[in-house]
Amino acid sequence: MTTFSIVGAGRLGTSLGAALTKKGWDLKVIADRDPAAAREARKIIGRGTATSDIGKAARGARVVFICVPDDTLKVVAKKLARPGSSWAGRFVFHTSGLHPAAVLNPLRKKGARAASMHPVQSFPEKGASVRFFRGIFWGLEGDADAVRAGRDVVRTLGGRALVLRENDKPLYHAACSLASNGLVSLEASAAALLREAGVRQKTAIAVLLPLVQGTLQNVKKFGWEKAFTGPVARGDVETVRRHLEALKSRPREEKTYKTLGKQALGLIAGRSLPNRKVRALKRLLERE
């Protein structure tokens, strides 16, 4: 049985702790600077000791996961590497999508084998179901033996490993953020337009959700190019013109529409649209 501890009792840390215990791992400590958060996570997971002393996380645990916000990761690593502590023989993973394993150098100097291990998934609540981990990718980067150990963790959770180079992590994380957070922002903008058209908030979400889900299924089944539908894909110049006229009073949404429209046009321009349609759409979308 693998022993582990978690630093950071947020949504990811708690969900990861719950998932691994259900897979037979032995949770020793869940630590958070907020003692109430640690206690809540302990209650959800049902195992381990809750504490606000993050230094206790390494005691008795072969593997330590650091699941804290990006901006606090360096500080936490330094605290864990306090004088007198030994990390020899331990694996330590942080779950930041942006930072490389090098941010854990204070622990490496204490003997730890370190890697970054980022799940390409969003966790809406503490203690999210094990199913949230199934089939997802994890971005792995760091010491070779730690990456190998990380692969084992990923397989245990039913996921898939994506090994990254240190310098590629910012682009990788930007892609993940755009796909997830960018989608939420886009849907919020679309819902705002529906509200302006007299549709209630809850109804707006209900209207858009099947459309978004269907689009994602089309991307999965047919790929990017064939998943494109709508006026740009069809070359409906007059429709796009009317959309832009309606958006003049909402410059933020107008800019978003034009930016995404130009990107879509670039992806499908050579597919089936006549050149005259492409040129007309481009003029509309590039007009200031």
Per-residue pLDDT tens digits of the chain, which is 288 residues long: 699 999 999 999 999 999 999 999 999 999 999 999 999 999 999 999 999 999 888 887 999 999 999 999 999 999 999 887 889 999 999 999 999 999 999 999 999 999 999 999 998 888 878 889 999 999 999 999 999 999 999 999 999 999 999 999 999 999 999 999 999 999 999 999 999 999 999 999 999 999 999 999 999 998 887 888 899 988 999 999 999 999 999 999 999 999 999 999 888 876 778 889 999 999 999 987
Instruction: Please state which CATH class domain 171-286 belongs to.
Output: mainly alpha
Q: Which helix (H) or strand (E) holds 73?
A: helix 73-80
Q: Distances in Å between the alpha carbon of 44 and those of 61, 95, 125, 196? A: 20, 20, 11, 41
Query: CA quadruple 51, 80, 150, 180: dihedral positive or negative?
Result: positive
pLDDT in the model for residue 1: 66
Res 130: pLDDT: 86
Beta pairing partners, 114: 92
Q: 163: helix, coil or strand?
A: strand
Neighbour-count burial of 24, counting CB atoms closer than 10 A to its CB (0-12 exposed, 13-18 middle, 19+ buried): exposed
Q: Which CATH architecture has domain 3-164?
A: 3-Layer(aba) Sandwich (3.40)
All structural domains of the chain with their residue ranges = 3-164, 171-286
